Amino acid sequence: MSDMLTDPNALARPELLQVADTVARDKNINRDEVLEAMEQAIQKAGRSKYGNEHDIRAHINRSTGQISLARYVEAVENPEDIENEITQIEYKKAVLKNPDIEPGGFLVDPLPPIDFGRIAAQTAKQVIVQKVREAERTRQFAEYKDRVGEIVNGLVKRVEYGNVIVDLGRDEALLRRDDCIPREHVNTGDRIRALIVDVREEQRGPQIFLSRTHPQFMAKLFVQEVPEIYDGVIEIKSVARDPGSRAKLAVISNDSSIDPVGPCIGMRGSRVQAVVGELQGEKIDIIQWSEDPATFIVNALAPAEVSKVVLDEEKNRIEVVVPDEQLSLAIGRRGQNVRLASQLSGWDIDILTEAIESERQVEEFRVRSQMFVNALDVDDVIAHLLVTEGFSSVEEVAFVPVEDLLDIEGFDEAVAEELRERARAFLAKRESDFADKRKDLGLQDDLVELEGLNAEILTKLGENAVKSRDDLADLAADELLEIVGENAMTEKQANDIIMAARAHWFEDEDTGVEEVAAEQETETE
């Protein structure tokens, strides 16, 4: 607003500028935002005196603190566009009052300074407080929204029902009960460190949420305590925590000459003990990370010793075999050790003892041997030899190169060819039996031709009223697994089969779109 609106008789009000400076400094907001809040308060008081229907604006001179008040009336070129005769005037009439005015400009009528009464002063104060609070909230959100993941220090201001209000200096943050370390007791006035996990704009203003249980809180503490991590020589790959009890930290060194575990522990354990002290005695296992999942999981299960691991990458599951006396140590109290190792690695971990593993292998050997005895009509000796050499299905025997069968001790060419013939005869009979079964079940061709479905799976689908590709497409992955059994396929394979069954839906949509486009093109021609 132009300084021509300033009343020449008005006195300078430097105290206004002093107040604005003080508030801006205390609240850490812009001085102009405080002065704008004061202007809005004066405008509100002016409208209360001269009428709320008027467009009354106030201005505080930024140099002297002088207050000017004026009524604004807009000059409207087209009389039909006038919506409010109090705040708008026809341009022709406006020119008579001010020849220099342009269409869309304003006639400015200076008003005498108002004398604030008690009610007007109270109203003005409320406006100023509200505007300053809004500006403070905007500043607070802008300051903290990009600081998620940082550790902050603060004083405990108060504790309400287990939730801790933390004074960060100019701002407050909330440490909820669930984000406090179990059995940790804090008192008003205690100094506390926590991780900023979220900053949200809520109805009552920005809320800063802290956590002392988040895995990254422990990771950030190590960054502060271990210079090698801060410098990037050692990298934290993953963290798993059972807050207040135990944690595992996986680290790797980017310099082959530096051991990643030693610097994290520190001289006589000084560095790790500093973190343990901050986490109320939480025990921390520092583990060397490895790209090989088996090696990494063996390290993660420390201090338990591992005899053997078996990976199933499709199911993201790993079986770990441990000596019988190591079972309780590998699992940990209430499953803590294996649970943390699973969180750290991202793999599902099954713990087996050597005795259980041996029993299972014996049972698998027996079942496979019996399968070969029944399918190929051979004695136990030949069936055992096939299983020992790694054959697990009749299909493998039927279509494996003869040389692979000849490698088995005691097998000659005649035996190998006979086994292949018997295996193929068994598969042909099974296929013939399935063809009859398929007719009885009413399975449609579009379902049978879908990749990934064998005779056994198709039979189970038919028995559960899934007889066409559309029937299969309507299923969810968990429903398909429930029908065929989880051992028949993985969840990913189930999803892939269902998506393949749905593919023709999208092809139909594309064809429909092409037909419509062709019709439109024909009409245009």
Residue 171's pLDDT is 78
- Report pLDDT digits (tens) over 85-132: 788 888 777 777 878 888 888 888 888 776 655 554 565 566 667 766
Give the pLDDT of residue 131: 67
- The Cα 19–Cα 24 span in angstroms is 8
Q: In terms of CATH, what superfamily is 145-211? A: Nucleic acid-binding proteins (2.40.50.140)
Tell me which DSSP letter residue 180 carries.
S
Q: Domain-by-domain residue ranges, the chain?
A: 3-139, 145-211, 291-392, 442-525
Which helix (H) or strand (E) element contains residue 210? Answer: strand 205-211
In degrees rounded to 5, what are phi and psi of residue 288? -80, 125
Are 105 and 146 a contacting pair, CB within 8 Å? no
Q: Mean pLDDT for each consecutive 10-residue tract of the chain (525 residues)?
A: 41 68 72 77 77 81 80 82 80 79 82 62 63 71 81 89 85 87 87 90 77 92 91 92 91 89 90 90 90 90 86 83 87 89 89 85 86 83 83 80 78 81 83 75 77 77 82 84 77 83 70 53 54
Going by C-alpha positions, the residue among 433, 314, 359 that lies closest to residue 367 is 359
* Start-to-end CA span in the chain (Å): 62
Distances from the Cα of 401 to the Cαs of 221, 382, 390, 413, 500, in angstroms?
60, 18, 14, 11, 32
Cβ neighbour number for residue 454 with a 10 Å cutoff: 11
Token representation of residue 411: 């097998």
- Joined together, the tokens standing for residue 81 give 């566009």
For 115, 369, 424, 514, the CA distances from 392, given in Å and listed in that order, are 99, 9, 15, 49
Pairing between β-strand 55-60 and β-strand 67-76 as defined by DSSP bridges: antiparallel
Segment 260-279, tens digit of pLDDT:
999 999 898 899 999 999 89
- Residue burial 277-303, b: 16+ Cβ < 10 Å; e: rest: ebbbebebbbbbbbeebbebbbbbbbe
Candidates 3.40.50.1820, 1.20.140.10, 3.90.400.10, 3.30.300.20; correct CATH number of 291-392? 3.30.300.20
CB of 162 closer than 8 Å to CB of 212: no
Residue type, 131: K
Residue type, 277: G
- Does the domain spanning 3-139 belong to CATH 3.30.1480.10? yes
Cβ atoms within 10 Å, residue 321? 21
- CATH topology for 442-525 is DNA polymerase; domain 1 (1.10.150)
Using only the alpha carbons of the chain, give its radius of gyration: 39
Do the two domains 145-211 and 291-392 of this chain adopt the same fold? Answer: no
How far apart, in whole angstroms, are the C-alpha atoms of residue 508 and residue 469? 14
